[in-house]
Amino acid sequence: MKTNRQSLVSWFIRGNFYLGLAFILLAIGALIFEVVKNGNWFVESLIGLLGMGLLFLFFSGRPMADERIRYLKFKSLAIGFVFTCIAGTITNYITTYPDGNQDGAISSYWFTLVCLLVAFISFTILKFKE
Amino acid sequence: MKNLIKVERARNDMSQAALAEKVNVTRQTIHAIEKGRFVPSTALAFKIASIFNIKVDELFELEESDWKAN
């Protein structure tokens, strides 16, 4: 029985586990290098790289991706998105209020990272709960 | 949705892990289906039924609540 699966979804599900791992190791390595060398790096890009690594890990089919796992991943990603939206909005409101200074606001890179971390945690909980 | 997977497994002397391996899913998925916490796709239901050499409607049965759920 053949199903019409979207190519992008298929590309993610077929596993880019090692690519995700490489992104995370690269981000951690760059972060360590930055701390050791005391360089003036753009931290947001490291967070972005870490987020991308987590994204690839999240959608990789490791250790196995069957239909229940895919359903739970979708559900946990939705939980992560909603949670991060609410937490991000409150954080940004508190940090930018009342002077409107945007320096303390969380960036989209942080948003992605937190969203995926919450999704990972939710997925672990849901896997045992459901 | 009720199912008789556990009964059929016992009849065929098959563990959850063995069935999971045959239909290419995780053991936890078989456990979730048995407990009624997860409704399998049509393809998976057919695969499970074919492992036990029975029809899908002999293995799965709709309940009253399934008509109300969306």
- What ipTM, to 2 d.p.? 0.78
Residues A123, A70 share a domain:
yes
- Interface residues of B toward A, Cβ cutoff 8 Å, are 24-26, 28-29, 32, 37-38, 40-44, 46
Residues A130, A94 share a domain:
yes
Residues A58, A84 share a domain:
no
Where among A32, A63, A94 does a domain terminate?
A63
Residues A58, A17 share a domain:
yes
User: Which of B26, B37, B41 is closest, CB to CB, to A130?
Assistant: B37
Count of domains observed in chain A: 2
Residue A122 burial (C-beta neighbours within 10 Å; 0-12, 13-18, 19+):
buried
Q: What is the pLDDT along chain A (130 residues), one digit of tens a residue?
A: 555 555 565 565 555 788 888 888 998 888 888 778 876 667 777 888 888 888 888 887 776 778 888 899 999 999 999 999 999 999 888 888 777 777 778 888 889 899 999 999 999 999 888 7
**Angstrom distance (rounded) from CA B45 to CA B58:** 11
- CA-based nearest residue in chain A for residue B31: A130
Q: Which domains does chain B have, with CATH numbers?
A: 2-58 (1.10.260.40)
DSSP state at residue B60: E
Q: Outline where DSSP puts E strands in A38-118.
A: none
Residues A83, A26 share a domain:
no
Domain that holds residue A103: 66-130
